Amino acid sequence: MLGKLDEIRSKAIDELSSIGDLRGLEDWRVRYLGKRSALTQALRVLAELPLEQRRGVGAVANEVKAILERSHRQKKEALKEKAYQQMEAAVKFEKIDVTLPGRPIPLGRLHPTTQVLRQICDIFLSMGFQVVEGPDVEWDYYNFEALNIPRDHPARDMFSTFWIDVETPSGELPMLLRTHTSPMQIRVMERTRPPVRVVVPGKIYRYEATDATHETMLYQIEGLAIDENITFLDLKGTLYEFARCLFGSQRKVRFRCDYFPFVEPGVEMAIDCFACGGSGCRLCGGSGWIEILGAGMVHPDVLRRVDYDPDIYTGFAFGMGVERIAMLTYGIEDIRLFYSNDLRFLRQF
């Protein structure tokens, strides 16, 4: 038994000296100190030896175990130190090729609607307008009542509405997703005195069927200018100048009478169709023109409602659809492309 223990010790120490990495060392530990190792087996049979032999052999077996454990610890330390030195040397002598091209960072970009919206705001900023914003969820009062569109007024049919599911005790629905940016005319005038010159960009919502030129969620930009002596000429001059800045002087602009309860008189402005050049196509519905905004002189009743004296102050307002303008700017034939999340479309802008 003593001879066997001596043999285990010298074989283990021999093998240990040739081990060069931590993985090899772990294999060695399992082989010589693990549960199934020859040494553990030898320690197990100790119990079967007569008492006088057991003492002597037991002491030797424990001593061999202690030697192997100590050797294992020392070897582990030495191997760790060696690995650390190798790493240090690698870092010291490693060469970095600074001429290698870097990995491209994927960059996002602004949505075409946002790009056009910013261009439009910049044009009006250059004319002295301020940019303000308002809530998407609006009261019936601001969206309709204050703009001369009372309940049961036929003009409410023009603004197919998403109502918010909150009822008053009398069963009315007083909140909605705004159907245009015009409610901001009232909010701005309620909190400022003339002169007023603002543009209001923002989302609006229409509960209607979609087609090549109609969406249920879209952006509008509202404009409002109130002061003494503002006339229809100012309205036309401002909107012509806007169209010239955005589309260039070649594009044709058309004004026609239109009806909005909150203006008197009211107009719509259209640009000649980019797709057919004015001869008529599917996009412009055969008319040769694409309507981009409604406008007019602010109605005296609207001014009175916010305590502006219509005998002193007059003003004009307009509201334009941003996607329709982006379509004209980029030659896009279907408005539904804007929000269908197709990256092949969006990456072009």
Residues that bind ligand YSA (CB under 6 A): 180, 182, 206, 208, 214-215, 218, 220, 260, 262-263, 266, 291-296, 317-321, 323-324, 335
Closer by beta carbon to ligand YSA, 247 or else 260 = 260
Q: Give min distance, CB of 208 to ligand YSA, in A.
A: 6
Q: How far is CA 255 from CA 216, 239, 241, in A?
A: 26, 10, 14
Q: Give min distance, CB of 262 to ligand YSA, in A.
A: 6
Task: Tell which residue, 162, 256, 271, 265, has the closest CA to residue 213.
Answer: 271
Closer by beta carbon to ligand YSA, 214 or else 236 = 214
Closer by beta carbon to ligand YSA, 208 or else 309 = 208
Q: For residues 349 and 339, give the distance between their C-alpha atoms in angstroms, rounded to a whole number.
A: 14
Closer by beta carbon to ligand YSA, 29 or else 291 = 291
Closer by beta carbon to ligand YSA, 19 or else 163 = 163
Closer by beta carbon to ligand YSA, 194 or else 296 = 296
Closer by beta carbon to ligand YSA, 54 or else 252 = 252
Q: Give min distance, CB of 308 to ligand YSA, in A.
A: 15
Task: Tell which residue, 195, 182, 180, has the closest CA to residue 299.
Answer: 182
Q: Give min distance, CB of 100 to ligand YSA, in A.
A: 49
- Which residue's C-beta sits nearest to ligand YSA? 321
Phi–psi pair at 36, nearest 5 degrees: -100, 10
Q: For residues 20 and 119, give the distance between their C-alpha atoms in angstroms, rounded to a whole number.
A: 69
Closer by beta carbon to ligand YSA, 32 or else 142 = 142
Q: Give min distance, CB of 138 to ligand YSA, in A.
A: 12
Q: Give min distance, CB of 103 to ligand YSA, in A.
A: 41
Q: Give min distance, CB of 210 to ligand YSA, in A.
A: 8
Closer by beta carbon to ligand YSA, 12 or else 183 = 183
Tally Cβ neighbours within 10 Å of residue 309: 10
Cβ–Cβ under 8 Å, residues 302 and 226 = no
Cβ–Cβ under 8 Å, residues 225 and 234 = yes
Q: Give min distance, CB of 218 to ligand YSA, in A.
A: 4
Q: Give min distance, CB of 104 to ligand YSA, in A.
A: 36
